[in-house]
Amino acid sequence: MNNRVSSFQYDEIFSGLPGYFDRNALALFRSQYERNDLYGQFARSLHKTPDGIAGLEQVPFLPISFFKTHSVRTGLFVPEIIFESSGTTGQTASRHDVKSVSLYRESFTRGFELFYGPVSDYCIIGLLPAYLERSGSSLVFMVDELIRQSKHPQSGFYLYAFDKLHELLIDLEKKRQKALLIGVSFALLDFAGEFPMHLRSTIMMETGGMKGRREEITRAQLHETLKQAFRLPQIHSEYGMTELLSQAYSKGNGIYQPVPWMKAMIRKEDDPMDVQESGEGLLNIIDLANRDSCAFIATDDIAKVYPDGSFEVLGRMDNSDLRGCSLLAV
């Protein structure tokens, strides 16, 4: 790596300038290699150093399971907020120590508005019962903030008050008010079973969330059921996780477009060091907004990344809780 990219430009995280992503990602790798003890030790265990990295395919990606067993921080700081994953019975929850809440807020607000326009154009409705029943959800934080930013008097969260939600949607449809109904899959399915209706002005966005709540179905089956129940041409999706501060969005068919400061790549299951720009395998994510934790994450998702940078999630790797734990003992 040459000196021209040795300094990470914090003010360029959300820049759309040509060539900024690779330059900033390589500079952020150097910064996190030097200032994140966990990540630096992980990289050295793989014999990876900043001076030996010529492209993003060579950067080491930290197994996402490390967020369950270690505090992943770049530099010393007191977190403004700590996000935790839901975890299922018998599993350890992931933990993301967030140094700057304002950075997360800027990331998801800019990301949403890139795809959907001003938040203030919408009535934002959150159907996130499982997430509202616990603390520390990054998804609840994001939707709550979008609700505030919308400033629409009828924006808000709904738990299991499906009858009130139904009445609200009828009222919004009569007014032709643009609305976003963002919810976990099982809750949207339950609502569809009780109150099917014709939605014309409402975007329905699922965020996943089937495990352990009801019989699991494929995303294609979920979307088809919801499209039929609400007579919608497409079901939108949001891809995010506790360990990331950025999102990707799908406006249909399960094909996600990441925000410009996020990049999807593919690693081969039989050789995690074989990382490619596109193809099918296990999903690696670079998130420049993760400047204070780790920006280079090897997820447990099986995916296909297309040449244009979009990606499709095909499933989850089996025994994902076991992966990565033996790679580094700290």
Does residue 245 sit in the same domain as residue 204?
yes
Does residue 115 sit in the same domain as residue 171?
yes
For the chain, the domain total comes to 2
Does residue 165 sit in the same domain as residue 218?
yes
Mean pLDDT, residues 92-121: 97
Does residue 177 sit in the same domain as residue 303?
no
DSSP state of 132: H
Q: How many residues does the chain have?
A: 330
Tell me the CA distances in angstroms from 219 to 242, 258, 320, one per residue in order.
Answer: 20, 19, 20
Q: Is the pLDDT of residue 17 over 90?
A: no
Domain end marker among 208, 235, 250: 250
Would 84 be classed as within a structural domain?
A: no
Q: What is the pLDDT of residue 6?
A: 47
Where residue 306 falls among pLDDT bands split at 50, 70, 90?
A: very high
Domain interval for residue 152: 101-250
Burial profile 306-324: b = 16 or more Cβ within 10 angstroms, e = fewer? eeebbbbbeeeeeebeebb
Q: Is the pLDDT of residue 186 over 80?
A: yes
Would 18 be classed as within a structural domain?
A: yes
Does residue 221 sit in the same domain as residue 300?
no
pLDDT tens-place string over residues 259-304: 999 999 999 988 989 999 999 999 999 999 999 999 999 999 999 9
Three-class SS state of 255: strand
In the chain, which ranges are continuous DSSP H helix?
A: 20-35, 37-45, 66-69, 101-116, 129-132, 138-150, 162-175, 185-194, 219-230
Burial of 76 (0-12, 13-18, 19+ CB in 10 A): exposed
Would 185 be classed as within a structural domain?
A: yes
Q: What is the pLDDT of residue 87?
A: 63
Where residue 11 falls among pLDDT bands split at 50, 70, 90?
A: low
Does residue 231 sit in the same domain as residue 262?
no
Q: Distance between CA atoms of 208 and 183, rounded to whole angstroms?
A: 8
Does residue 177 sit in the same domain as residue 282?
no
Domain end marker among 228, 250, 272: 250
Does residue 110 sit in the same domain as residue 244?
yes
Mean pLDDT, residues 160-167: 94
Does residue 234 sit in the same domain as residue 262?
no
Q: Is the pLDDT of residue 178 over 70?
A: yes
Q: What is the pTM of this model?
A: 0.91
Between 2 and 103, the more confident residue is 103
Domain at 110, CATH number: 3.40.50.12780
Q: CB under 8 Å to 270, separation ≥6 — which residues?
A: none
Mean pLDDT, residues 28-41: 97
Where residue 215 falls among pLDDT bands split at 50, 70, 90?
A: low
Q: Is the pLDDT of residue 213 over 90?
A: no
Does residue 318 sit in the same domain as residue 263?
yes
Domain end marker among 250, 281, 304: 250
pLDDT tens-place string over residues 248-257: 999 999 999 9
Does residue 241 sit in the same domain as residue 259?
no
Q: Is the pLDDT of residue 155 over 70?
A: yes
Does residue 263 sit in the same domain as residue 242?
no
